A and B are shown apart, each in its own frame.
Chain A
Amino acid sequence: TQLLEQSPQFLSIQEGENLTVYCNSSSVFSSLQWYRQEPGEGPVLLVTVVTGGEVKKLKRLTFQFGDARKDSSLHITAAQPGDTGLYLCAGAVVGGSTLGRLYFGRGTQLTVWP
């Protein structure tokens, strides 16, 4: 079982549409990070959220950390083909044996068609 459940697993949309990706868990996280990964490359950090209820914006991307620090969402406004990629959420569990070890979701594969 995955500690972090991401949904949807696949998302295929037209350019200009909005979308939301969800990352949920029953565990509490001290922080949660979102990454984007291209085929054959390592994950590239997009954002880190640490405070319950925190909202961060990165151009057309909006990230939210749940009040209880168990879930997070990524919203993309007016998606563009350049947003295509695998979006991964990853969290560091509160009280985990390895401080800083990240638990990853399986990812959401986003494809934006022109």
Chain B
Amino acid sequence: DTGVSQNPRHKITKRGQNVTFRCDPISEHNRLYWYRQTLGQGPEFLTYFQNEAQLEKSRLLSDRFSAERPKGSFSTLEIQRTEQGDSAMYLCASSLRPTGTASTDTQYFGPGTRLTVL
């Protein structure tokens, strides 16, 4: 069991630059979530995928943010023209929800990517 992995663990960039983060979920997990956490706050939902389909995006996710999960396995989160307010921990989580059930799945989080925008 390798768990959820995220790369890079830390990213420092200058305002206006683009950054991309990667998340590798637990194998066979069909759901993948992105959250953002700022200091002193709990994680806030950004978006989620079921397999390769992006099913919902939070209002927190401005047009500068885009997420993909092209083959239903790993996912990338890109931020274009970064702003200082984008500085946060970006967390990825995955879960396995059997199709056709209404039960709630348990989400397992990766170690996060800490973004600092100077």
**Contact in complex: B104, A44 (CB < 8 Å):** no
Residue of A nearest to B55 (CB): A98
Interface-side segment among B65-73, B76-84, B107-115: B107-115
Give chain A's interface residue range (CB within 8 Å of chain B). 20 to 34
Main secondary structure of the interface of A (DSSP, over half): loop
Flag if A45 contacts B108 (CB, 8 Å): yes
Q: For residue A40, which residue of chain B has the nearest CB?
A: B114
| Cβ proximity bits B19-50 to A, threshold 8 Å, 1 near / 0 not | 00000000000010101000011111100100
Q: Which residues of B contact A107 (CB under 8 A)?
A: 41-42
Cβ–Cβ contact B33 & A101, under 8 A: yes
User: In whole angstroms, what is the CA distance A8 to B106 when docked?
Assistant: 25
How many residues from B make CB contacts under 8 Å with A? Answer: 30
Q: Are A48 and B106 in contact (CB under 8 A)?
A: yes
Interface residues of A in 18-69 (CB under 8 A from B): 30-31, 33, 35, 40-45, 48, 50
Measured in the bound complex, the distance between the Cα atoms of B107 and A45 in whole Å is: 8
Q: How far is the CB of B5 from chain A (nearest CB, A)?
A: 10
Distance between Cα atoms of A48 and B110 in the complex (Å): 18
Minimal beta-carbon separation of A37 from chain B (angstroms): 9
Determine if A90 is an interface residue (Cβ-Cβ < 8 Å).
Answer: yes
Q: What distance in Å separates the Cβ of B28 from its nearest Cβ neighbour in chain A? A: 16
* Most interface-central of A2, A43, A98, A107 (chain B CB within 10 A): A43
Query: Does B95 interact with chain A (Cβ within 8 Å)?
Result: yes
Distance in angstroms from B43 CB to nearest chain A CB is 5
Q: Would you call B97 and A100 a contact (CB within 8 A)?
A: yes
Q: Shortest Cβ distance from A31 into chain B, in angstroms?
A: 4
**Known contacts A88-B42, A100-B97: A43-B91 contact under CB 8 Å:** yes
With A42-B112, A107-B41 known, 8 other A-B pairs at CB within 8 A are A30-B104, A42-B6, A42-B91, A42-B109, A43-B109, A92-B104, A100-B97, A102-B93
